[in-house]
Amino acid sequence: MAFYTVINVAVLLLLAVFLYYLNKKHIKFSSRVFIGLALGILLGLVLQLFYGATSDEITNTVLWYNIIGTGYVKLLQMVAMPLVFISILSAFTKMKLGNNLGKIAGLILLILVGTTAIAGAVGIFSASLFNLDASELVQGVAEKERGASLEESSAEVVSLPEQIIELFPANPFLDLTGARSTSTIAVVIFAAFLGFSYLRVVRKDEETSKTIKKAIDAIYSLVMGVVTIVIRLTPYGILAIMARTVATSDFDAIYNLGKFVIASYLALIIVFIIHLLIITLSGLNPITYIKKTAETLLFAFTSRSSAGTLPLNLKTQVNRLGVPDGIANFAGSFGLSIGQNGCAGVYPAMLAMMIAPTVGIYPFEPSFILTVIVVVAISSFGVAGVGGGATFAAIIVLSALDLPVALAGVLISVEPLIDMGRTALNVSGSMVAGVATSRITGDLNKSVYSNPALKELGES
């Protein structure tokens, strides 16, 4: 290991020790998360200033920083599938879904897909407001290579009926590994089948059902214990992730594509305001929602992984927002692969408006705009909640509209920056679906939602 790399790694470890010291001093979990964020940004800026984003020192340093940053995200992804599976199955044993299962699932899907359609419309508005045109973007070698790769990927896009078929769990054990982009939904379906089977056992053999319930409750407690342990590592994970992100950011590219970045974040902010409007129309305080979801949205922002944020997402819904376990798990799980407002809504709609003029299509034609919105909403099924999900969604939408996908490659240099906001919006969308559905069904615990005290996410 080079001398400067050793120094850089030592600095990160010292900052991690400082965060551990704050923990021993019983500084609140939320405060340590934000301190980790600030320290990570500061460290990243210092590294960029001293070495430059593309230097060998930064490249070597990031490899070591990833042990903490990427390692933390992988630990969260590790518990995501077991958590989805056992939580939904546990909800059946606790009779929290009852006969409302169809209504609950329908409402969640309606909110997720509906807000994605709205997000698509907002993306169209923002692209039009800033007069974005892909033909004006300059493509370098990296961008052209990315464009060629996207063209190859577009050949693999399947039809909507095939996408729906992919949701079914032909091999649930394979899906428990997260091997497919639709694995999360497949696991939800498998767990639901087991849940219905449990309800049949309850009616036919009460003694056996009690044994099954004890086993499920025991596994649930075990998995939640693992979730709690991993979540307690959040301040350290965010420290390393932000240091890496800032240190490797191409600020020149961000400046050159500044109009697209600004337009993207304007659209993301507008959709988030719509989320708050939905919360308000549900008879709840939107400021409370912001306060109680801030840590989870911050992690989604820094990690760029909806799947990695799932444990925090579920804990926030249940412990802070008063959403029942079953509804929270359906909303969080569906939100990983269906109706991602940022990745599957705003982003592909903006690209469609930008790319249309390059092939002689007038993007402001009402029929074209309506087609984009409908395609965006339908295509949001099966988008993976991991890095690259937005690109996959864009390929589907652009291919469906018969638009060239290669031009999307020009945005490669600012992808990480925009993807941070998109991921946070995805997670917010799933939490809003959980809260709104609980409110409509009368299952929301308003006393938990309204309680100003924030229960620590790192607590059992």
Report the CATH number at residue 194: 1.10.3860.10
C-alpha 135/C-alpha 133 separation (Å) is 5
**Residue 152 resides in a domain:** yes
Task: Assess whether pLDDT exceeds 70 at residue 241.
Answer: yes
Would 457 be classed as within a structural domain?
A: no
331-390 tens-digit pLDDT? 988 888 788 898 889 999 998 998 888 888 888 889 999 999 998 888 777 665 555 567
Q: Cα–Cα distances in Å, from 121 out to 129, 270, 362, 418? A: 12, 11, 16, 18
Q: Give the model's pLDDT for residue 22.
A: 93
Domain limits for position 377: 3-450
Across 267-410, where does the E strand assignment appear? none
Residue 30 clears pLDDT 90, i.e. is over it: no
Q: Which residue has the tokens 């596994």?
A: 219
Domain-embedded: residue 129: yes
Identify whether 455 is part of a domain.
no
77: which residues sit within 8 A by CB, 6+ positions away? 178, 305, 307, 308, 386
pLDDT digits (tens, 9 = 90+) for 185-213: 788 889 889 988 998 898 888 889 899 99
Domain membership of residue 14 (yes or no) is yes
**Domain-located, residue 460:** no
∠ CA 328-418-267, rounded to 5°: 75
Is residue 142's pLDDT more than 70? no
The answer, yes or no, to whether residue 41 has pLDDT greater than 80, is yes
Number of domains in the chain: 1
Distance of CA 128 to the CA centre of its chain: 26
pTM of the full structure:
0.82
- For range 124-134, the mean pLDDT: 88
Residues, the chain: 460
Per-residue model confidence (pLDDT) at position 79 = 86
55 vs 140, which has greater pLDDT?
55
Asked, for residue 458, whether it belongs to a domain, the answer is no
Q: Does residue 73 carry a pLDDT above 60?
A: yes
3-state secondary structure 172-197: HHHHCCCCCCCHHHHHHHHHHHHHHH
Residue position matching structure tokens 């500084």: 27
Residue at 459 is within a domain? no
